[in-house]
Structure 1
Amino acid sequence: MTFAPFVLALTLILSLTSCGGIQKMAVGTTAGLLFDAAYEMETEPDWDHLKESVGPNLKVVEGLYSLSPEDDDLLVALVKGYTAYAFAIHETEALADQYSDKSKSISLSKAQHFYSRAIEYGLEYFVEQGITWDQLVKSPREEGGVEGLLSKKLSSDKRTHEAVAFFAQAMGGLINLKKDDMTLVAQLGIVKGMFDWVCKEDPNINHGACQLFYAAYEAGRPRMLGGDPEKG
């Protein structure tokens, strides 16, 4: 079953189960399947089909999460989904707008919006794991850094790795799109620390995300700030 029909079938099941307890049971038993089914969205070769299907599917997942807010599979699926939606769809279109010299890009605004939504869901996940935003902000300056904080608080499993990787990608993407926001740019150390942690735990996560991040990280900073454009 492909991802879109899976979500539609699940929506139909929930619409036919009026009892709250039954709905929660249905959500709980299918959340793991939904988390795994998201892999198909990541590997969808038809960009136009992906563009048309991701948004509605994400709204369904948000609806399911509202019924079962304690379900971490759904929460991480939202972090992954909105990060991918911002990156693969709206940032791609924003880049096309940039090359065509559009003075104002709606796609750029949407990319920023959906990266921000992914970050919000990611912070919910981290709070559940005992990590606050203030702790993340302080961690690069503390002993052990971001990696130490994550190692202390988080387990080492696929769901956690993906939560960290996609949250870091969302933060990095938003920073890249808002380079004039110095408060935001100052949080790049959090992004770097998160990738350092997750890429040691799972170097092959998300189809080469580690290699892509480190290349962009080196190429995107001038030498005076420690970057290495040739290495990137």
Structure 2
Amino acid sequence: MVRIALLSLLVVGPGCSMNRLTANTTADVFKEAAPAFDHHWDYEFAGAAAPSNLMQLEGFLRVVPENRTLLIELARGYTAYAYGWIEDEKEIASQEDMEREEHLAHRARLMYLRARDLAFRDLEQDAEGVTAMRRRPLPDFQKFLAAHFVDKEQAEGLFWAGYAWGSAINLSREDPTMIADLGYAKALVEHSAVLDE
């Protein structure tokens, strides 16, 4: 019985670590290749490709949930897709179809919130408890950011967390609980700018 258990570990173990290695390596390749998507000459083609790229990255994130490159690329990708494509469709729909406009606003808001949460998962790796600080008074949150985020390399995660959160709030103007969080989103972006100087 012990031999069978050890044999199964030998078979499963290397496969799992190989999957993790592949996912980590692919994350780095995606990051290097991202400018090709950002600068593609055909807007519609890029928009059609974006969801499959995001789903691939989500798949890799399941294998390596702590991979910071994946967390940031997904946060950036969801934010860009929601802003660049879904909100565009929403604006067009606003002139013709109120129900579709509301549906698209809901989709964009969900993507922005997913982006915010992914960025916060990245920030947690530098400062455990930063997500919980969102429930504390704003001055406490600002002090926490100033104390725990001091390096320029941390600016990107702060920016995407704040920008995505602010974008979700912008689509939730009739939701007082979302509006109340605006100061937190602003604090993240402002602190990101300080670090990025």
Q: Same fold (TM over 0.5)?
A: yes
Residue 19 of structure 1 aligns to a residue whose secondary structure is helix
| Residue 86 (structure 2) pairs with residue 90 (structure 1) | yes
Q: Which residue of 2 aligns with 1:31?
A: 27
**Cα deviation code 1:55-91 (max 9, x no counterpart):** 0001000111111112111111111111111111111
> Residue 90 and residue 167 in structure 1: after superposition, are their counterparts in 2 closer, same or farther (change >3 A)?
same
Contact 2:40/2:46 (CA < 8 Å) preserved in 1? yes
Would you identify which runs of 4 or more consecutive aligned residues in structure 1 move more than 6 Å?
none
> Residue 134 and residue 24 in structure 1: after superposition, are their counterparts in 2 closer, same or farther (change >3 A)?
closer
Q: Which residue of 2 aligns with 1:60?
A: 56
Aligned equivalents of 1:31, 1:118: Cα separation in 2: 17
The more displaced of 23-32 and 88-97 is 23-32
Higher relative helix content: 2
Specify every segment of 5 or more residues in structure 1 that has no aligned partner in the other structure, as ranges. Answer: 1-17, 204-232
Q: Which residue of 2 aligns with 1:186?
A: 180
**Cα deviation code 1:177-231 (max 9, x no counterpart):** 110111110111011111211112225xxxxxxxxxxxxxxxxxxxxxxxxxxxx
- Specify the code of the residue in structure 1 equivalent to 2:72: V
Aligned equivalents of 1:175, 1:45: Cα separation in 2: 31
TM-score normalized with structure 2 length: 0.82
Indicate which of 44, 47, 65 corresponds to 1:48: 44
Identity %: 23
Contact 2:130/2:144 (CA < 8 Å) preserved in 1? no
Q: Which residue of 2 aligns with 1:121?
A: 118
- Specify the code of the residue in structure 1 equivalent to 2:158: V
| Residue 171 (structure 2) pairs with residue 177 (structure 1) | yes
Aligned equivalents of 2:40, 2:180: Cα separation in 1: 34
- What is the number of residues matched between the two proteins? 181
Specify every segment of 5 or more residues in structure 2 that has no aligned partner in the other structure, as ranges. Answer: 1-13
* RMSD of equivalent CA atoms: 2.1
| Residue 145 (structure 2) pairs with residue 150 (structure 1) | yes
Aligned equivalents of 1:162, 1:132: Cα separation in 2: 15
> Residue 134 and residue 19 in structure 1: after superposition, are their counterparts in 2 closer, same or farther (change >3 A)?
closer
Give the drift of 1:112. Answer: 1.3
TM-score normalized with structure 1 length: 0.70
Contact 1:78/1:118 (CA < 8 Å) preserved in 2? yes
